[in-house]
Amino acid sequence: MSHPFIRYNKVVYRSNGSRFGEGEWEFLILKRKRNIRGLKTELYLLQVRPSKQYISSLYPVGSDRFCFEWKGLFFSLKRERGKVEIVKLAGMSWGIVKKLSGLNSKNLGGGNANS
């Protein structure tokens, strides 16, 4: 079973609050209970079906827009009312993600997990 993030360049899922997915695949956008010394972003992505698996921290790059890295590949995640769009990004690097998200010693938080 090939993961849809790897198999396709773009996937669009129906969402309900912080939960999204389709068929056998289901994911949650969760808020960390606490952030130790600002080392992690406020939100992260968790796969809950077909098996529970941490995917990545979500790096904010705009209003309800995030970048994340998983298995050496970079992705964008965009939340809109009732759907989540995930796009595989070519030519992305941590330097670009940090620049887009304004990462430095500032707070890494961003977004509302339940919107």
Higher pLDDT, 60 or 115: 60
Tell me the two tokens of residue 1.
């079973």
Q: What proportion of the chain, given as a percentage, has pLDDT over 70?
A: 74
**Which pTM does this prediction carry?**
0.77
Q: What pLDDT, in 10s, does the model give residues 34-54? A: 766 566 788 999 999 999 999
Confidence band, pLDDT 50/70/90 cuts, at residue 111: very low
Q: What is the pLDDT of residue 96?
A: 67
Residue among 89, 83, 43, 51 at smallest CA distance from 70: 89
Q: What is the pLDDT of residue 110?
A: 43
61 pLDDT higher than 60? yes
Burial class (CB in 10 A: 0-12, 13-18, 19+), 31: middle
103 pLDDT higher than 50? yes
Distance in angstroms (rounded) separating the CA atoms of residues 75 and 30: 17
